[in-house]
Structure 1
Amino acid sequence: MGTGKRGLLAAAVTVVCAVTVLAAPGTAFAAPTPTPSTSATPSASPTPPPGKDLEKVRAKLDKLYHDAAVATDSYNAAEERAKEQSTRIVELAKKIVEGQQKLERLKNQAGAAARAQYRTGGLPPTAQFLLSDDPQQFIDGAGTVLNGQRATNKLIAEMTRTQKDLRSYADDASAQWQKLEANRKAKAAAKKRIKKQITEAEKLESRLEKKEKERLAELERQAAYKAQTEWLDTGILEEVNGKASKQGKQAVGFATSQLGKPYVWGAEGPDSFDCSGLTSQAWSKAGHPIPRTSQEQWKQLKHVDIKAMRPGDLIIYFDDASHVAMYVGDGAIIHAPRPGRTVTVAGAGSMPILGVVRPDA
């Protein structure tokens, strides 16, 4: 990790620890929602009061971006399956070509055997013995004939087996094509949902005045602050003191070097990331590939108690495992929050935690 990036992370964590919270403006889907103020009175000032309208806007934006994150996970999963199926189809195509070449060789061998039999007149062995000028020579050659018959039977069996394999490869390839087409449709549907959710969120934000946007950002910070403070107040950090593994340090270093890069759904670097694109690439660069999506990371990686987590571990958020971040120590995470934001440092408790997984367990 570069010196400048280390300094940036260290400075961020130091400031955060001083106020016991990491409430970065980039945090997405912050929860719980702070209680709306009821003391504000209507004013002619263009500055909106911290009332229910902006709270509703914040809640709506949270839902839209959360739904976009769920759709993004579906898109990424469909893309990964499509890649696997495409690879499988290529492998099957190679096997089919090799099988056809093998079958052609076997047919040539069978033809040669048939021609040899034709040259003997196709007579049964008994007739050949009776008509032979030298019966002893015929008897001596009987073993060779028997071996030839065995070879012919083996050749026929090999041809039958090869034909069966070819049918199996063709059936498998057809099934993979059907799955590939289904996943292409799933990707297209997920992409449509993502764009719809993001477009609606952007339209909602575009209708806000400058001061309303500032107030909305403040509400997000307050919500993140409240959630992180409540998490820290449990005393959890007094028990979380795990040390990063060698690969964990490498993963954290990679994630830190991506700070400031924009969130783009479906992206996994090098210029932009979505949440699971960042974590999967970080661990891939550390020499330990992991599943591409946050949901599969939650399903496939080893779960660890939150008290045992260490830098490099992944924190999975929300009941549907739709968001993931990398724990970097001192109650902090690095994550790619949502569209319109950049890779940032935030509080580990600023969103509802589902659990913690360890890639290099």
Structure 2
Amino acid sequence: MSAASRPKEWVRRALVCGTLLAAAALGLPAQNARAMPADPYPSGPTLVVLLERLQDLYLRAEEATETYDQAESELSENRGKADRLDRQLAEERTALADARALAGQLAREQYKEGGVSPYLSLLLSGDPQDAFTQSHMLDRAAGSQAELVAQLENGEKRIAALSRAQQHALDGSLQLADRQRDAKEEIEKQLATVEQILAGLTGTQLADLQRLEEQGIDRAQEAFLRSGQLGSLSLAPSKVGNSALSFAYAQIGKPYIWGAEGPKAYDCSGLTSQAWLHAGTPIPRTSQEQWKQLPHIPLNLLRPGDLVIYFPGATHVAIYIGNGLVIQAPRPGSVVKISPIAANPILGAVRPDSDEPSMRHYVSPTAPDTAKDRASQGGSTGS
């Protein structure tokens, strides 16, 4: 059974890493947290409900983030297309103007030279060879004029088609800008609700929430490793994959900011796309497109550098580093870090360098303990 299809209780307990860091980022140290009247979140089963609520809010925010990122990517592509069409239109208009000028010149010359028929010119000419030469020139002029007429017609058609394509690109850009604006509003709405919930928790509630989160991630990781889905923990990356990994390691500690793709901050797919771009292998910007376009691989063949895709909608992604761990940009309020592979419900995995062989000699980098989630410390990670 895949992680994505496990019972809801597992999903509920496997809250994404960063909830407490989000509280810290919002300026909510435990000793200063304001208690809500009647304390609606005491320790006990209702904490699970709170975790589920926070997970849902973060998931909605990340779905909107990926929509925002996709719109940004398509908007950039559309703007580039519109610029290219502008240049093509300018070139076509210049060529059309030149063709019209040449057609006018040929028409004037043919009029001046064509007042007498070639046959009559032959009869009147004292030099028959000159008459034949003149006739040949007139025929060539007529042929050139026909070609120019066709060129003018084709040029006008190309300009009309380019104008329509340019307008289509501009209309598409407006629609994408609207979609991006709506996604931005959705992100801000969901994160504002998270802030409101966290602002109403006491220090004790935050600590309980953190413990429940860590316990859920530990159990999820243990269950995933016991399932045997992961296969060997010691596979090596390709040389290109190793370059992507080196980039990802260098970003550890940088903040998560939705829509960011470096160099100072990242969202989840911003990190993975930039890692592979810096390795010389451009991949799609968003986790959904990475899942859609890149070659899928079974989890038991995972090697460092592969991308692990999460949630049924493919709305989160991390880069696998081996030993059952990933580097990810988790959620707002958190930072790029090393996490257990099963910290989120796994959808599957993709390999950007599927044609590249694994390295024969590979030594996995050692990251500081401060780069890891607490839930990834100890034997349950398989490290």
* 8 A contact 2:15–2:216 mirrored in 1: no
Q: Does residue 278 in structure 1 map to residue 263 in structure 2? A: no
Q: Secondary structure at the match of 2:343?
A: coil
**1:170 correspondence with 2:163:** yes
Q: Which residue of 1 aligns with 2:109?
A: 116
Q: CA deviation at 1:128?
A: 4.1
Deviations 1:301-359 (A, max 9, x none): 00011111100000000110000001000000010111111111111122211101001
Deviation of the 1:223 alpha carbon:
1.1
What corresponds to 1:319 in structure 2? 312
Indicate the residue corresponding to 1:183 in structure 2. 176
Provide the rounded CA distance (Å) in 1 between the counterparts of 2:165 and 2:267: 34
8 Å contact from structure 1 (residues 241, 308) kept in 2: no
Q: Is the 8 A contact 1:113 1:152 kept in 2?
A: yes
Contact kept in structure 1, 2:15 and 2:52, CA below 8 Å: no
Matched-pair identity in % = 39
2:145 counterpart residue number: 152
Over 3 Å counting, the alpha-carbon distance change for 1:229 and 1:50 in structure 2 is farther
Residue in structure 2 matched with residue 302 of structure 1 by the alignment: 295
Conservation of the 8 A alpha-carbon contact between 1:24 and 1:344? no
Query: How high is the TM-score relative to the length of structure 1?
Result: 0.85
The whole-number CA distance in structure 1 between the counterparts of 2:297 and 2:58 is: 28
1:199 aligns with 2:192: yes
Count of aligned pairs between the two proteins = 323
CA contact (8 A) 1:240 1:308 kept: no
- The one of 127, 135, 140 equivalent to 2:133 is 140
Q: Which residue number corresponds to residue 49 of structure 2?
A: 56
Residues 240, 307 of structure 1: 8 Å contact kept: no
**Cα distance, 1:95 vs. partner?**
0.5
Q: Which runs of 5+ in 1 are unaligned?
A: 1-22, 30-45
Q: TM-score, normalised by structure 2?
A: 0.80
The answer on 1:329 being equivalent to 2:319 is no
Cα distance in 1, alignment partners of residues 51 and 16 from structure 2: 14
- Following TM superposition, by how much is the alpha carbon of 1:126 offset from its aligned partner in structure 2, in angstroms? 4.0
* Match runs of 1:1-361 below 5 Å: 27=17, 50-120=43-113, 122-132=115-125, 134-361=127-354
Moved more, 59-68 or 143-152: 143-152
**Match for residue 363 of structure 2?**
none
Q: Bigger shift: 108-117 or 303-312? A: 108-117
Relative to structure 1, is the Cα distance of residues 74 and 26 closer, same or farther in structure 2, using a 3 angstrom cutoff?
closer
Aligned equivalents of 2:71 and 2:118: distance in 1? 64
Deviation at 1:120, TM superposition (A): 2.3
CA 1:124–1:204: 2 relative to 1, 3 Å: farther
The Cα shift of 1:256 comes to 1.0
Letter aligned with residue 210 of structure 2: A
Supply the RMSD in Å over aligned alpha carbons.
2.1
Paired AA for residue 343 in structure 1? V
